[in-house]
Amino acid sequence: MKALIIINDPPYGTERLYNGLRLAHALLKQECEVTVFLMGDAVAGAKSGQKTPDGFYNAERMVKRVAIKGEVQLCGTCMDARGITEDEIVKGAERSTMDALADATISADRVLVF
């Protein structure tokens, strides 16, 4: 099965990014093909160098974990609007486009939006 997970919310303040990435990881453990597309404020979840308090989840680590077996794409327009460059994002995540999101949507068996 191919799953596309689209996440819009910021990495901290709500738990949508957290829960979307948790689901992505669970699907990968069940050998599903997973693409996570971060857009809007969610692109900040893939920024390198995040420091969170002990005992608090770290979006950067979660994105890296998904990128090992799955695909993590970031909306390029959203990155530009937030001043995030390709040099600042975690290894394994990649800048992407709405056309790529459209292609991923068409090829996915399931599309989930957080």
Three-state DSSP class for residue 52: coil
In this prediction, residue 12 carries a pLDDT of 96
Phi, psi of 44 (to 5 degrees): -65, -20
Query: Number of folded domains in the chain?
Result: 1
What phi-psi label fits residue 13: left (phi over 0), alpha (psi between -120 and 50 degrees) or beta?
left
Query: Token pair for residue 75?
Result: 């909306």
CATH code for the domain in which residue 23 is found = 3.40.1260.10
The per-residue pLDDT for range 9-22, each reduced to its tens digit, is 999 999 999 999 99
Q: How many other CB atoms sit within 10 Å of the CB of residue 60?
A: 21
What is the domain range of residue 60? 2-113
In this prediction, residue 52 carries a pLDDT of 93
In this prediction, residue 87 carries a pLDDT of 97
Residue type, 112: L
The per-residue pLDDT for range 61-88, each reduced to its tens digit, is 999 999 999 999 999 999 999 999 999 9
The per-residue pLDDT for range 97-111, each reduced to its tens digit, is 999 999 999 999 999
In this prediction, residue 35 carries a pLDDT of 98
